[in-house]
Structure 1
């Protein structure tokens, strides 16, 4: 007992007064009752330790408080789940209703105004980004997903034209660079991020590029896509290419030459890798 009292006195002697006043339970120091907070190796009784743990837990430091705030959340009650499911469903309904109204009253009328001719039951989600002017002819039941880009080059005097056949799908972020003509047949599937171009964009000759010259009309060669063609995502279809009916082009392919009908091609440059079924 004398050893315990001695250690308590020693600890109290080295404890700042501000700490001694912070804990509301008595500890004996030099025979007197003093309010103290002992963060030392004093041999407190089990009862005193429990009191200290209870008090220190009520006053966490800033780091502990922030951790508790970040980890906090609403209770996982069944009623709350039902409420949030209903709120989510209502949000989706309102969003899709807004998209539908925009498509009916803004997107489709604008697209029809921009096109030379549009068939029945056009389905389009967003107005395409278009540069300059040219002719756009869309067949029946054409579907355009997301947003596409169309860049015409009318300065060559070739009357550029984009023609899309019936029942053809064009995916999100497809783009067309047209100086003369890009023709896509019926029942085609064009996956997203595919680029079509009937010109090189710049002259091949370096001296002409330095001079700021444009592509010459002789360097423009139309692109023709047959019926029932499937083109995978991320393809590049370059000038002068003709893809035959029912052909399949693998994703990320670069097509630099004609693809016969019922042929499967893939790679850069695209090469035949199989035969399709007619």
Structure 2
């Protein structure tokens, strides 16, 4: 009988084409994890067959993820180049292995830029996406005299220093339940674009500027568009009040640019 497992995943998204598996695309986070899990299941099945057949070594043709019945369900899809410290996914597996052994196996065979931080048995009905109550994202910028040599893949380098006070003023207009259509990359989205943003915190730490967004869910590229818009305010290209007007207009063309993917990290998913 299949068991449901909940896993917390961290990854460096630099060289991947996002989370979601895509036909003909090998470099996705989901694809890499499903490939390792499929291999694990096939090895376990082969071992069972070998024991039943008293030493037979036939391990004919490993199956792909779909054939092996391995399908990860994530809390949400991260785009190409986006990182995660707390992505959550669940998967149903036909295995007798313990959660600890599964986690150990996965970390042994996954690429070095993907790691399973936690893995445990979950209730049969647990779903990483539908049961999620909220998410926290962090967007990190850098403005300094020297280059961020060692964390250049995880920050967006700015060519001018933004006004943090004005950015915080602008962020106040975004707190609460609103229609965030102006901050959605998909203009043809048929589902509701109403979301609740509980908090936006903007911190200055030396040359680093970090924006933390917490809400019940986010639209396609929403956090990056919000970040790009707040930076426009910081650069003096729009007033804090203008952000409220853009929100009410429900027009993506009025908002700021989509900030670069490399500065974004999914920090935590609430359940």
Question: Fold conserved (TM > 0.5)?
Answer: no
- Using CA pairs under 8 Å that are at least 6 residues apart, name the structure with larger relative contact order, 1 or 2: 2
- Identify the TM-score tier after normalising by the shorter chain: under 0.3
Structure number with larger C-alpha Rg = 1
TM-score calculated relative to the size of structure 2: 0.22
